[in-house]
Amino acid sequence: MKALYSELNSLLPGFQTSREPSTVADQLDEAANYIKKLQVKVEKMKGRKRKLEGLERRDPVCSGSRESSGVGPIIEIHEVGPILNIVLVTGFHHKFLFYDILRLLTDEGTDIVHSSFSVADDTAFHTLQCEVEEYGYGAGGRISERLKRLVNNVSN
């Protein structure tokens, strides 16, 4: 049993670095808390997946042909003051669309504040945050429309 408790303790992040000797009850409590945190994280990720799948079905930007190898391009843009938050979901066949979007944003004179991506199977999830320099002159709306047209033209 001692070996099993030790193995359980080694699987818990950060708990094994503690210098204090821990009781078996503490180890079990920590393991239970960690499992609960993981369950919450899994549920949040499932919800996010369902949300993205729902966007895929109802978003007019992605209406058109779906790829057999993944997701057609989906773009979601939120304008918050001078900041544009952009989420782009692409499949394998549209892997260069992200670079086209970066080029468009650069041509429009935006400052890209943050960019990240992740890949799952044949689907890439990109997030961008950029600042519009000409805020207040309708630039955010103009850029949003250009981005939507770009993605719509690619998906058709």
Task: Give me the residue spans of the domains in the chain.
Answer: 2-58, 65-155
CA 70, 118, 125, 50 torsion-angle sign: positive
CATH of domain 65-155: 3.30.70.260
pTM for the whole thing?
A: 0.52
C-alpha 118: how far from its chain's center? 7
Could you write out the DSSP letters of every residue in 24-81?
HHHHHHHHHHHHHHHHHHHHHHHHHHHHHHHHHHH-GGG-SPPPTTSPPPEEEEEEET
CB 110 within 8 A of CB 143: yes
Rounding to the nearest 10 degrees, give the CA dihedral for residues 71, 85, 77, 100: -60
DSSP state of 13: T
CATH of domain 2-58: 4.10.280
Tens of each residue's pLDDT in the chain, 156 residues: 888 878 887 887 765 555 565 777 877 888 888 888 888 888 888 888 888 877 655 544 444 434 434 457 888 888 888 888 999 888 877 778 888 999 999 888 889 998 888 888 778 888 999 998 776 667 788 888 999 999 888 766
pLDDT of residue 130: 92
